[in-house]
Structure 1
């Protein structure tokens, strides 16, 4: 690990790891591994829900609680974790969260009952709640300002790989040896990623512990962020775009499984490979912010996302799959910019600012991801697709108006 500044040095004289340096490369690699460790575990049971339901004698909805409770656990703990990180340090907080989640993940396959299984998954999500927001706060402090957007994109790329790995590893293993073996395989993958994260992550050089905040002070910090129009616009973007994104992935499988396509479930599950376009676009989009600015790249990502989704309206399998890849790439490009921008705008309470972004992100996943099904069931795929495009256009309009400011604003 890179060494901290000697005692007596002014940490403010150091402007962060610069692109091309060893420290910068280690920050990117470590945060990508943190993303894999986090999101592989978060979605580890999604690919084996039918196997889990059959083995445990529960309904599909009950099996799906293994995903929902983990996600809810993450959402409700992002804010508490941010205050912990302000006191004990970003790296230490991430280390505790990843380690705890890995241990809990290894216990999940051994759960003898459904209530214990679901309880472990909820606790696993709560442990993981510390990673997404703290990672963004960490890189905003430790990477030189001009390259923070690119570093955030690398972290988001790691999250896409993690989410994909959690599904693709679990599926084949589960089909061969059952859902418990699948969950164990994903947990072992996360454990390896966690160890590599600990080895690679540089120590903090610009972190200063925040004083312990009372309840009023904590509310004041959150109130300041939630009344900042620029941050609120980004929180709205996270809520609407993530909600629409999850709704598309939740219900596109139903469309492809039904006529006129009639694809088997095994092939339908491969649509998650479209996540690879997000792995590329999250870093690519973040890198373009240096040349074109965050606002322009974010709006371009939203436009690409909408265009890709419009392609899925065609009753042609190739057009739908190409559209899904474009849609996914556009979403992750926009998300990588938005998530990194919160830390750049918030000069104080960065961890809390990022936590509010993640809270909005996962609330959107829960609320709109579910509500999109109402449109789909009532009026079919076109209603869902046009609804999500409408949400994307609303996001673009609000973001453009709020962030169209003089150049002195963060961009």
Structure 2
């Protein structure tokens, strides 16, 4: 695969003043108030997306008891959302080219919040899965479009830091969604917990639309046609180094979600006997992901993504190995390292998409997120088979195997970038 020198991952020299595109509108830099508003708005969009998507994760054992289903079936409440989100992302990219970034993200957050409230009153498991699938589909309008907005509107030398903050919103949303639902379930029940989470994210959607500046580097392109979109996706898949990034994202997310899906089953059983509140509080380790994603973005601009990404994967693998012990403090340390490594790696990989894709960035982002969420949905449910057959050693072996392949893809990409440079 031939990669031009334009793909080299080198930090551009910081200009004295913001670069001005051909139409005379500067891109946002940290010195501008618009940059801070956009960063906060996209932070909120990431918060809402992940809190809605993952609020059911600490409830998987609860669903098994409430609906009389197996762990693998219970995990479908998360998997159907992530898979439908992944598929919807492919449709979100063309829609965003026609209707705009800001409006599509707001509509997606609004609809998803309402569907989460509805899922909290689902009368049976089938209705629950249908509502969760619809929720994932509407959330598909957020991730790829948000990444594309940042790539278009932020000055390239400062893109990684802005992307890191967006990923930090993902981490915080995932943490609050999991902890909130886990703790509230013990006191008010899982139905009220899901309803309250939907209400919080309705407020986040309103704050998003108020804060986010309108796009200044996007022009609607109307009806581009199916051939245009297929060509754009094919170019990213077969004429660039991006497939290595896509594979890495899928495996990272698959391993991360699998660990958290089945940690609850392990920790609520003997000899640990965690309560629902204790299990929910375990997700407080996500706070480390908030800092790790932001730091990884800054380090990527300074020393290069090809160094930061493998380090993040090694950190994840170390954390998983530590969870094999029977000591609760060591398990918590292991899950903390897993979280730090994951969010650092995801921030680097997602930022790399914007750097390697020179055209049709919305399509490039949609492919990354398609693989990312498909990895979560498929591996998250497949982990149920490993749990049922071999318990935690099976989960450990499964996730370490995925991360080994991810490391190979990351090193391959780093070598190609080094040669291009």
Which TM-score applies when normalising by structure 1?
Answer: 0.89
Counterpart secondary structure, 2:214: coil
Structure 1 residues 315 and 107: CA distance shift in structure 2, 3 A = closer
Output the CA distance in 2 between the equivalents of 1:309 and 1:315: 13
Q: Which residue of 2 aligns with 1:206?
A: 217
Residue 74 of structure 1 deviates from its aligned partner by 1.0
Q: Which residue of 28, 52, 55 corresponds with 1:44? A: 55
Contact 1:242 1:362 in 2 (8 A): yes
Q: Which residue of 1 aligns with 2:203?
A: 192
Please tell me whether residue 97 in structure 1 is matched to residue 122 in structure 2.
no
Output the CA distance in 2 between the equivalents of 1:383 and 1:102: 35
Counterpart secondary structure, 2:247: helix
Q: Which residue of 1 aligns with 2:363?
A: 352
Deviations 1:201-234 (A, max 9, x none): 1111111223522222221111111114421001
Q: Which residue of 1 aligns with 2:255?
A: 244
Output the CA distance in 2 between the equivalents of 1:387 and 1:105: 31
Residue 336 of structure 1 deviates from its aligned partner by 0.8
Contact 1:148 1:340 in 2 (8 A): yes
Q: Which residue of 345, 348, 354 corresponds with 1:343? A: 354
Please tell me whether residue 276 in structure 1 is matched to residue 270 in structure 2.
no
Residue 373 of structure 1 deviates from its aligned partner by 3.9
Residue 392 of structure 1 deviates from its aligned partner by 2.0
Output the CA distance in 1 between the equivalents of 2:263 and 2:147: 31
User: Which structure 2 residues correspond to residues 138-177 of structure 1 after superposition, within 5 A?
Assistant: 138-177=149-188
Deviations 1:181-201 (A, max 9, x none): 212210111011111111111
Contact 1:230 1:403 in 2 (8 A): no
Output the CA distance in 2 between the equivalents of 1:378 and 1:145: 48
Q: Which residue of 2 aligns with 1:230?
A: 241
Q: Which residue of 2 aligns with 1:179?
A: 190
Q: Which residue of 324, 329, 333 corresponds with 2:340? A: 329
Output the CA distance in 1 between the equivalents of 2:105 and 2:253: 23
Q: Which residue of 2 aligns with 1:4?
A: none
Residue 405 of structure 1 deviates from its aligned partner by 3.8
Structure 1 residues 252 and 119: CA distance shift in structure 2, 3 A = closer
Contact 1:11 1:206 in 2 (8 A): no
Larger CA deviation: 168-177 vs 202-211: 168-177
Structure 1 residues 297 and 53: CA distance shift in structure 2, 3 A = closer
Structure 1 residues 200 and 247: CA distance shift in structure 2, 3 A = same
Deviations 1:49-107 (A, max 9, x none): 5656666x553666554333322321210000111001111112112211222333344
Q: Which residue of 2 aligns with 1:5?
A: none
Output the CA distance in 2 between the equivalents of 1:212 and 1:323: 49
Contact 2:151 2:354 in 1 (8 A): yes
**Any gaps of 5 or more consecutive residues in structure 2?**
1-19
Contact 1:274 1:324 in 2 (8 A): yes
Counterpart secondary structure, 1:139: helix
Contact 1:229 1:402 in 2 (8 A): no
Output the CA distance in 1 between the equivalents of 2:115 and 2:271: 43
User: Which structure 2 residues correspond to residues 257-406 of structure 1 after superposition, within 5 A?
Assistant: 257-405=268-416
Contact 2:61 2:264 in 1 (8 A): no
Q: Which residue of 2 aligns with 1:3?
A: none
Output the CA distance in 2 between the equivalents of 1:393 and 1:114: 36
Residue 290 of structure 1 deviates from its aligned partner by 1.5
Higher RCO, 1 vs 2 (CA within 8 Å, ≥6 residues apart): 2
Output the CA distance in 1 between the equivalents of 2:265 and 2:212: 41
Output the CA distance in 2 between the equivalents of 1:309 and 1:46: 18
Residue 42 of structure 1 deviates from its aligned partner by 1.7
Contact 2:182 2:279 in 1 (8 A): no
Structure 1 residues 226 and 51: CA distance shift in structure 2, 3 A = same
Output the CA distance in 1 between the equivalents of 2:396 and 2:62: 30
Residue 396 of structure 1 deviates from its aligned partner by 2.1
Contact 2:44 2:169 in 1 (8 A): yes
Contact 1:49 1:60 in 2 (8 A): no
Query: What RMSD in Å do the two structures reach over aligned CA positions?
Result: 2.6
Contact 1:15 1:143 in 2 (8 A): no
Which TM-score applies when normalising by structure 2?
Answer: 0.87
Contact 2:180 2:280 in 1 (8 A): no
> How many residues are aligned here?
401
Please tell me whether residue 59 in structure 1 is matched to residue 69 in structure 2.
yes
Counterpart secondary structure, 1:23: helix
Structure 1 residues 12 and 383: CA distance shift in structure 2, 3 A = farther
Counterpart secondary structure, 1:404: helix
**Any gaps of 5 or more consecutive residues in structure 1?**
1-8
